[in-house]
Amino acid sequence: MLHLNKITFFAFCVYILFAFSCTQETTISKNQKELFELLEKEKDNSQTSFSIINQIADSFRYQGDNQSLILFLTDFVEKNPDNPYNSYWLLLTAYTYMQENADSVAEYYFDRIIQNYDDLLVKGKSVHVLCLQNLIQISTSSDNRIYYFNQLITRFPDEVNITELYMRLAIEYEKIGDWEQALYTYSLFLERPDATTIQIPGIPDAYNKARKLIDFNNSPKDWTFESLESLEKAVKNAISRYSSTLLDKYRSKVNFFAMSWKQEETDTNSQKNFSMKDYMRGNRIRYSAKLDESSNPNEAYLRTTGWSQYINVWYLYFRKVNFPLDPEIHGRWEWAGIYFGEKL
């Protein structure tokens, strides 16, 4: 009997929940019907219809019915091409597609707004700015992203962080191989008053990245070698001859570093501008017969010893030059830095 009472009570609870759900759905449907009827009467009144459409959209969101929401918004725009808020309705459509993980469709609507509709301020926010910011996030085309960045910079300089956008724009130019525009945009970034201090998510030490590239571009690059073999041979010969003059000649004149293995090349105290003679005088310098086994097609390490009683071992770091802007320099080799101590 007790077991039967439990079953009866459970069935009663299910019934109550079902009845409540049906009542709630009926109420929503009734409200939606009333809103649709009101919209039909007020569709020519842009201010009133704006409020009604927002309420209808909210009801679809409450139900989790994104497909009906999309159909409603796009149908309204198609049937009412002169409605002044159409860019906003398409913005909501794009957002809804993003919620459905349909970024490519969302991109179509964001771009459609930019290309075909005048800008609109809704709750103090520019619809075009919102579209451009989202397009930058979801677009996979560097060409498109370049266009969007430039739109934000030229049209809305007071609403975005210009310094950050210059850096991101320069990187996009790099991706498509437009090095002249990349360098020009990096130079614009460096001219910004906050370039040295800005923190850009995903781009650590943005200032040094731009500074190194610009400095390298403006340098003679006469320290580079045609091959790793020729660079290694020249450096070994200079060490054998104890010629600090030759070693100073061979090392990079831009962005040369000297640091421990634990440091980062971007550390402020890693950039060194010194003469090798300060470390060669009176010391017995030796080098390994072969490059370190960790060397690869783009980087190489030459172990040397005898530099000082404090740090006896130095690894000379050679790397392939990555500078597509100048085909005569791109792919050559440079002595780019020194690592102090044994490898970790």
Question: Is the model more confident about 58 or about 271?
Answer: 58
List all residues 6 or more positions away from 23 whose beta carbon is below 8 Å from its beta carbon: none
79 lies in a domain? yes
188/64: higher pLDDT: 188
**Is 41 a domain residue?**
yes
End-to-end distance of the chain based on CA atoms, in angstroms?
76
Query: Is 155 part of any domain?
Result: no
Of 140, 160, 188, the one marking the end of a domain is 140
CA distance 56 to 69: 8
CATH number of the structural domain spanning residue 124: 1.25.40.10
**Domain end among 108, 125, 140:** 140
Distance (Å, whole) CA 97 – CA 84: 22
Per-residue confidence (pLDDT) for residue 272, from 0 to 100? 63
Mean pLDDT within 239-253: 96
What would the mean pLDDT of 29-35 be, rounded to a whole number? 73
Whether residue 287 contacts residue 303, with contact meaning beta carbons closer than 8 Å, is answered with yes
Final residue in a domain of this structure, among 117, 140, 163: 140
Position 236 in a domain: yes
**DSSP code of 12?**
H
- Between 71 and 278, where is the model more confident? 71
CA distance linking residue 142 with residue 87, whole number of Å: 25
pLDDT band at 42 (very low <50, low <70, confident <90, very high): low
Length of the chain: 344
Query: Is the CA virtual torsion 272, 335, 222, 239 positive or negative?
Result: positive
pLDDT of residue 1: 42
Kindly state the helix (H) or strand (E) to which residue 48 belongs, with its residue range: helix 46-63
Q: What is the pLDDT of residue 266?
A: 65
Q: For the chain, what is the domain count?
A: 2
162 located within any domain: no
The H-assigned helical ranges of 119-178 are 127-138, 142-155, 162-175
pLDDT score recorded for residue 268:
59
pLDDT band per the 50, 70, 90 thresholds, residue 51: confident
> Which has more pLDDT, 266 or 306?
306
pLDDT digits (tens, 9 = 90+) for 62-112: 888 899 999 999 999 999 999 999 999 999 999 999 999 999 999 999 999
pLDDT of residue 120: 95
Give the model confidence (pLDDT) of 144-153 as tens digits: 999 999 999 9
Vertex 42 angle, CA 57 and 109, to 5°: 40
The pLDDT value recorded for residue 342 is 95
When pLDDT is averaged across residues 5-20 and rounded to a whole number, the result is: 44
- Cα torsion through 203, 208, 211, 217, rounded to 10: -80
Average pLDDT, the chain: 89
Cα separation, 179 vs 175, in Å, equals 9
Q: With pLDDT > 90 as the criterion, what percentage of the chain qualifies? A: 72
On the question of pLDDT at 60 being above 70, the answer is: yes
Is residue 328 pLDDT above 70, yes or no? yes
In a domain, 64, yes or no: yes
**Radius of gyration from C-alpha coordinates of the chain:** 32
Q: What is the mean pLDDT of residues 175-198?
A: 97
Q: At residue 19, does pLDDT exceed 70?
A: no
Classify residue 271: in a domain, yes or no.
Answer: yes
Structure tokens at 340: 């102090």
Residue 55 pLDDT > 80: yes
In degrees rounded to 5, what are phi and psi of residue 259?
-160, 170
Least confident of 8-22, 198-212, 322-336: 8-22
Indicate yes or no: pTM above 0.75: yes
Work out the average pLDDT over 310-325: 95
Return the CATH number at 260: 3.10.450
CA distance readout (Å), 159 to 16, 85, 94, 185, 189: 52, 21, 22, 19, 17
Query: Do the domain assignments include residue 262?
Result: yes
pLDDT in tens, 189-244: 999 999 999 999 999 999 999 999 999 999 999 999 999 999 999 999 999 999 99
Written in H, E and C, the secondary structure of 236-271 is: HHHHHCCCHHHHHHHECCCCCEEEECCCCCCCCCCE
CA–CA distance, 110 with 151 (Å, rounded to integer): 13
Structural domain boundaries, residue 294: 228-340
User: What average pLDDT does this structure show over 288-300?
Assistant: 98
Mean pLDDT of 107-129: 96
Inform me whether the pLDDT recorded for 2 exceeds 50. Answer: no
Q: In this model, does residue 139 exceed pLDDT 70? A: yes
Give residue 122's pLDDT. 86
